[in-house]
Chain A
Amino acid sequence: MVSALTIDDVRNAIEAGQTTAAALAREFYRRIRQEDSEIGAFLTLCEERALAQAGRIDQMAAEGKPLPPLAGVPVAIKDVMVTSGVRTTAGSKILENFIPPYDCTAVARLEAAGAVILGKLNCDEFAMGSSNENSAYHAVHNPRDKSRVPGGSSGGSAAAVAAELAVATLGSDTGGSIRQPASFCGVVGLKPTYGRVSRYGLIAFASSLDHVGPFAKTVKEVALVLRTIAGRDPMDATSAEVPVPDYVAELEKPLKGSGEALKIGVAKEYFGSGLDPEVRAAVEAAIQKLAELGCEVVPVSLPHTEYAIPTYYIVATAEASSNLARYDGVRYGFRAKASNLSEMYRLSRDGGFGMEVKRRIMLGTYALSAGYYDAYYLKAQKVRTLLTRDFDEAFKKVDVIATPTCPTPAFRLGEKVNDPLAMYLADIYTVTANLAGIPGISVPCGENHEKLPIGLQLFARHFDEATLLRVAHAYEQARKAA
């Protein structure tokens, strides 16, 4: 009954009286109880809150009132976004019993639009990881092949959509944490422009790189969720005062109108050594398909790309070391027994944080420490400028840039856990968009010989999600038709 259900299907079925939001929510909880033991996508279920919201929607439907755009849609939220009265762990033991007193703006906007929040989704601890194996609770298994990782850090968000345990989900993306798991699980994931979606209530990892964004099975649904959560929020001073277009209406504009053809940039730096040949072939075929749809394919150069990972791991860890200083066992979170205050800080952090979080706090603290600040942090910020200028130049020539989302399909659970650097390189094609703040989307573009999904990544200019989604939608429709 719930298989292949889209946001529009849900709303239409409730409007037509074919089902109720409450029945649908119960059906999804039944599926979660039956199937999530083998996937591990959920950390917390919030049935009471979900059924109360479903009841409000059903009441509106019964009274014949117009239903909001996400009426009755079962959604789930990465556990780095706070939910009032519902446990929020960030995948960490240090927040195992944390019950936030307020809602994240993106979550509140989804609920205001009628969505039913089923629960909170597993992720790497504090969103630090590329495989979801850094969750302090349990691993997530890729629904497409349970011996493989779902990607990370929003592994639960991607897996829940792929396994149809939620119709749409929210994730966060600091270096690729929405797009990489979307690619690994064969779903659509969007990282909007920095400032497009409020970060209020998103547990901070690296504030200048953190983004909130949607996952769904189709581009149209992602557009609908983005339209709901986007826009200025006075609670986040970095959320931008830029009007939110109707992304869903924009999808239907033809790629090739009466004017010039849309230009798709292809950068050789994203097709170098380390790229799996089957991924390359699938992405090149996708670009060919865009050309057939009337786009003009233009070579572009992003010459500083090879410096993106080292830049990212200095900037992100420096910001993380500062952001995570708040977990000291005083106001909330885990507190270790200790005889004095400074011992309490250290033992609480030692006991509450996992190894990858400690590693990043150490790296970031080192990069910011006296004598190393100029060599590492300041240097990385300057290279960030160069990386951003690469995109500025490229977007003078093209409207969209097409790349692989990841160098390989999903790797096996345990394959990279003992090699942090190898794990970091899984983000090699995604971190650049976080450093520059441009929007990026991952759309399924094929499978390898083992039936593992492959993702096409598209980038666009700042605040031009409309074009990004339009191209992604046109490609998706053409692929389905083929």
Chain B
Amino acid sequence: MKVTDQDVAYVADLANLELTEEERAHMLRDLNSILEYVERLSELETDKVAPMAQVSDRYGVDESRQGSDRFAYAIREDVKDGLRESLAHDAAVKNAPDTDGTFFEVPKVIER
């Protein structure tokens, strides 16, 4: 067992999840079983291998250029409404669980 009860509680806290007692027990079992399976990656020697964060690191770019210039096609002027009109205020808050029409409202943040 690599993952402990304390790890589950710590990670749940990082992920902003509460989890019931039962869910924590399932998580402990499932995370250990999946991580045990993942363990086989350590069989591979990767000290000299570069990490690959995304496909477009390697494709669809101008290889003759360096650094961010390789993605020059994706660069655009950073101007308001440059690609599309910004959402109207009422459209932006329309799905809010709680709003006064101007702001998103949330429960009290600071305890007095």
Contacts and interface: CB of A to CB of B under 8 A. Distances in A.
Contacts of B58: 388, 437
A307 interface: yes
Given A314-B38, A335-B97, A382-B46, A341 B107 contact: yes
Contacts of A361: 15, 17
Interface in A374-392: 375-376, 378-386, 388
Given A314-B38, A383-B44, 10 more contacts: A97-B95, A101-B94, A304-B44, A314-B41, A335-B98, A350-B17, A363-B34, A369-B10, A379-B42, A420-B30
A334 B7 CA distance: 27
A195 B59 contact: yes
Contacts of A378: 51
Contact-residue bracket for chain A: 35 or more
Interface of A: 97-99, 101-102, 193-195, 207-208, 232, 234-235, 237-238, 240-242, 304, 306-307, 309-311, 313-314, 321, 325, 328-335, 338-347, 349-350, 353, 355, 358-359, 361-363, 365-366, 369, 375-376, 378-386, 388, 420-421, 424, 436-437, 462-463
B58 to A, nearest CB: 7
A359 B37 contact: no
9 contacts: A208-B54, A309-B37, A358-B27, A359-B27, A362-B8, A365-B15, A366-B35, A379-B41, A462-B59
Contacts of B59: 193-195, 240, 437, 462-463
Contact-residue bracket for chain B: 35 or more
B52 to A, nearest CB: 4
Contacts of B1: none
A381 B41 contact: no
B46 A240 contact: no
Contact of A329 (B37, B38, B50, B97): B97
A437 B55 contact: yes
B21 interface: no
A368 to B, nearest CB: 9
B56 to A, nearest CB: 5
Contacts of A208: 53-55
A242 B96 CA distance: 39
Contact of B104 (A330, A359, A379, A462): A330
Interface of B: 3, 7-8, 10-12, 14-19, 23, 26-27, 30-31, 33-35, 37-42, 44, 46, 49-56, 58-60, 71, 73-74, 76, 83-84, 87, 91-98, 104, 106-109, 111
Interface of A is mostly: helix
Contact of B106 (A99, A344, A376, A463): A344
A406 to B, nearest CB: 19
A331 B104 contact: yes
Contacts of B107: 338-341, 343-344
B111 A238 contact: no
A369 B11 contact: yes
Contacts of B7: 366
A366 B3 contact: yes
A381 B97 contact: no
A366 B17 CA distance: 13
A355 B17 contact: no
Contacts of A384: 51-52
A362 B35 CA distance: 12
B65 to A, nearest CB: 13
B15 A331 contact: no
A321 B96 contact: no
A238 B18 contact: no
A321 B31 CA distance: 14
